[in-house]
A and B are shown apart, each in its own frame.
Chain A
C-alpha cells in the first residue's frame, strides 16, 4: 500500500503530455524498486483513443476521467479526483510532472491529504525501502535531498530529466471515473485557454532551446534567434535583459524569474551568464555559448563555446544546421 505508486497523467487540448509519460516510466521503476503496484490517473477530454500510450512495465490499471466537463483544467475538480483516487487505491506515493498543471494540482491535492510534497525533483533514489528525492534549491545553486515522513507522499518531477522507456502500446484495464460536481458551479472556473502570441513551441517543453540576450539590441534581431531555433526544431528563449528591454515577451524568459528548462541542448547567444540566468538553464544536458567576450561567465559552464560576434556567426550557424538536416 504505502509502496504503491499513482502517477497523474496530464492531458492538454486532448493530448496526453510527454512529461507525464516520463513520470510514468519513473513511477514504474520506483514501484518495482519498492515492490509496489503502479496505477495511472488521467484527467481531461478526448484522450480515450490515446489510452494505449499510457503504458509502462507493471502498470496495473488506468483510472480515467475523459469528460468534456474537465476539458479545461479546473483545480478544484482535478484535486478532488486526485485525492479521491489516492484514498481509494491506498497508494502511498503520488507522482506528477512539474508542469504548470502539475505544480498547481500537486499541492492542492496534497493539502487535502495532509501530505508532504517534494517539488520539481531531478533525481529519485530508493534506499532501504524508502524514497529519497533530490531537487535543486536556491536557484540551482544547491541540491537538497528530501526525505519524507508519513504517507501518502507527493513528488513532482522536472520535465525532460527522467528517462522515458519506449514500451509497446499498453493494454492496462481502464476504470472510468465520474466527475464530482459541476464546473459551472465552481467559485473559480477556467473559462478558456488562449495560445500566447506567436504560439510557438514553449521553452519549457522543448528539447532544444536557443536564447538571445541583451546583445540582440532590439526586437528585430530576435528573428535570427527564431531562425536558428526553427532550423534546430527547438524553441526560442531569452534573458531577462532582453525581456525587460521590451524586445520579447516574458513567456520566453529563462531564469530565476522566468522559466526553468532542462533541454538536451541549450544555446546561449549574447548572454553573459548572470547567476539568475544560470538558475534557469544550468541543468541543461549540453550547453553552447556564443559571446564576443572570452571572459563571459557563461563560458565557464558551456560544453562548447564560440568566441565571436553573434551577427557574423548566427546566420552561418543556421545555414550549417539546415545543410546538415537537408543532407541527412
Chain B
C-alpha cells in the first residue's frame, strides 16, 4: 500500500494572535509552529496501515523554509520520505493554488490512498481534501473517524450532525481525518535519529510543471483584505456570594427577561 500524506505547518493552538503591520496577516514573530493536529491523525493512520500491510508513506507539505522542520517531525514519526513543495511562486496561495500544487506533486506517485487532516487549524478552510480529490479525479471521504482499508477497497465512517455516514469504495481514494480516528504517536529518539537519513526532496513550480501564474498571489481567487481581532467580549453580570437556589432563580430570570434567550 502506497500512501501519501499532506501536512500543513500552523501556529500552535496557544498562539496569541497579533496582526502584522500590513493589516492582513498574522505577525509570526514569537509564534511556535507545529503540524496541524488533524494532519497528525492522518499521518498516524497512514503509519498504522503501513505497519499492518507494508508499503510506503510519503509526506508532502507546501511552505517556506520553516516547513522543513514539520516534515522532519513526520519522518521521525515514521514516514519513509518527504517532499517539500517550496517556491517563491507558491507564496500567498489560497485553497485553489494549494490544491493545484499538492495535486501536481501527488499525481505522478500514483498513491493507493491519500490522507490529510479535515482542515488546517489556523485558516480553518477545510477545502484542500475535496479539491485535491477533484483535481486528481479520485473519490474522497472527509471528516473520517474510522477507516478500514483492504485489498483495493475501503470502508469509512464520516462524522455528520448527530450521526455518521458509512462510505464504501475502491482505492485509490482520498480521506480526510477527524479527531477520534486514532491517537497520534510521538516521535521517538530513535525515530528522530533515523529521520536525519531519510530522503527529503524539495520541488518547485518548474519541477511540478506548474505555471506560476496559476498559484500563489497571482492565481489566488480569494485574498485576505484585512485581518482584525474580534470585538472583545466583556465580562457581564456575576452572581456571587449567593445561595445556590437564589443564584439559579436569578439566572433564569435574567435569561428570560434581560437576555430573552429562554
Interface residues in chain A, defined as those with a beta carbon under 8 Å from any beta carbon in chain B: 12, 72-73, 75-76, 79, 99-101, 103-108, 110-112, 114-120, 132, 135-150, 153, 186-196, 199-202, 204-205, 208, 232, 250-251, 253, 256-258, 264-265, 275-276, 279, 282, 285-288, 294, 299-309, 312-313, 316-317, 319-321, 324
Spot the interface stretch: B69-77, B189-197, B254-262: B254-262
Known: A146-B224, A302-B235. 10 other contacts (CB 8 A): A73-B165, A107-B130, A107-B134, A116-B221, A116-B222, A188-B154, A301-B235, A304-B238, A308-B240, A316-B248
B72 to chain A, nearest CB (A): 24
Q: Which residue of B lies closest to A317 (CB)?
A: B248
Question: B235 to A141, Cβ gap below 8 A?
Answer: no
Question: B166 to A195, Cβ gap below 8 A?
Answer: no
Among A72, A103, A142, A256, the most chain B Cβ lie within 10 Å of the Cβ of A142
Q: B256 — which chain A residues lie within 8 A by C-beta?
A: 324
Complex CA gap A149/B131 in Å reads: 18
Question: A196 to B163, Cβ gap below 8 A?
Answer: yes
Question: B252 to A324, Cβ gap below 8 A?
Answer: yes
Q: B245 — which chain A residues lie within 8 A by C-beta?
A: 316
Does B109 reach chain A (CB closer than 8 Å)?
Answer: no
A315 to chain B, nearest CB (A): 9
Q: A256 — which chain B residues lie within 8 A by C-beta?
A: 13, 37, 121
Question: A144 to B224, Cβ gap below 8 A?
Answer: yes
Question: A188 to B233, Cβ gap below 8 A?
Answer: no
Given A256-B121, A324-B256, are A107 and B223 also a contact pair (CB < 8 Å)?
A: no
Given A144-B226, A189-B167, are A108 and B125 also a contact pair (CB < 8 Å)?
A: no
B254 to chain A, nearest CB (A): 6
Q: How does the 8 Å CB contact mask read for B140-176 relative to A, with 1 for contact and 0 for none?
A: 1111010000000010001111111111111001000
Given A138-B15, A143-B229, are A299 and B238 also a contact pair (CB < 8 Å)?
A: yes
Q: Which of B165, B247, B252, B261 contacts A190 (CB 8 A)?
A: B165
How many pairs of residues, A versus B, come closer than 8 Å at their CB atoms?
285
**21 A-B residue contacts at CB 8 Å?**
A12-B161, A79-B134, A111-B131, A116-B96, A118-B222, A138-B26, A142-B230, A144-B226, A149-B220, A188-B167, A193-B165, A196-B162, A205-B161, A208-B261, A286-B255, A286-B261, A303-B237, A307-B238, A307-B241, A319-B248, A321-B262
Does B126 reach chain A (CB closer than 8 Å)?
Answer: yes
Q: A75 — which chain B residues lie within 8 A by C-beta?
A: 130, 139-141
Q: B239 — which chain A residues lie within 8 A by C-beta?
A: 304-307
**B23-65 interface with A by 8 A CB criterion:** 24, 26, 37-38
Q: B235 — which chain A residues lie within 8 A by C-beta?
A: 299-302, 305
Given A76-B139, A250-B180, are A204 and B244 also a contact pair (CB < 8 Å)?
A: no
Does B67 reach chain A (CB closer than 8 Å)?
Answer: no
Given A111-B135, A264-B261, A302-B235, are A276 and B13 also a contact pair (CB < 8 Å)?
A: yes
Question: A294 to B240, Cβ gap below 8 A?
Answer: yes
Q: A193 — which chain B residues lie within 8 A by C-beta?
A: 160, 163-166
B31 to chain A, nearest CB (A): 10
Question: A258 to B179, Cβ gap below 8 A?
Answer: yes
Q: How does the 8 Å CB contact mask read for B88-128 relative to A, with 1 for contact and 0 for none?
A: 00000011100100000000000000000000011111111
Question: B221 to A72, Cβ gap below 8 A?
Answer: no
Q: B158 — which chain A residues lie within 8 A by C-beta?
A: 100, 190
Q: A305 — which chain B residues lie within 8 A by C-beta?
A: 235-240
Q: Which residue of A lies closest to B254 (CB)?
A: A304
Q: Which residue of B lies closest to A150 (CB)?
A: B221
Chain B contact surface mostly: mixed
Q: B16 — which chain A residues lie within 8 A by C-beta?
A: 141
Q: B247 — which chain A residues lie within 8 A by C-beta?
A: 306, 308, 313
Q: Kindly state the interface size class of chain B when it binds its partner.
A: 35 or more
Chain A contact surface mostly: mixed
Q: A118 — which chain B residues lie within 8 A by C-beta?
A: 222
Q: Which of B17, B167, B234 contacts A141 (CB 8 A)?
A: B17
Does B202 reach chain A (CB closer than 8 Å)?
Answer: no
Complex CA gap A167/B173 in Å reads: 43
Question: A189 to B162, Cβ gap below 8 A?
Answer: no
Q: Which residue of A lies closest to B14 (CB)?
A: A275
Question: A306 to B122, Cβ gap below 8 A?
Answer: no
Does B1 reach chain A (CB closer than 8 Å)?
Answer: no
Complex CA gap A265/B254 in Å reads: 12
Q: Which of A137, A251, A307 contacts B124 (CB 8 A)?
A: A137
Question: B170 to A188, Cβ gap below 8 A?
Answer: yes
Does B225 reach chain A (CB closer than 8 Å)?
Answer: yes
Q: Which residue of A lies closest to B160 (CB)?
A: A100
Q: A232 — which chain B residues lie within 8 A by C-beta?
A: 262
Q: Which of A100, A294, A313 contacts B161 (CB 8 A)?
A: A100
Given A108-B140, A202-B162, are A257 and B131 also a contact pair (CB < 8 Å)?
A: no
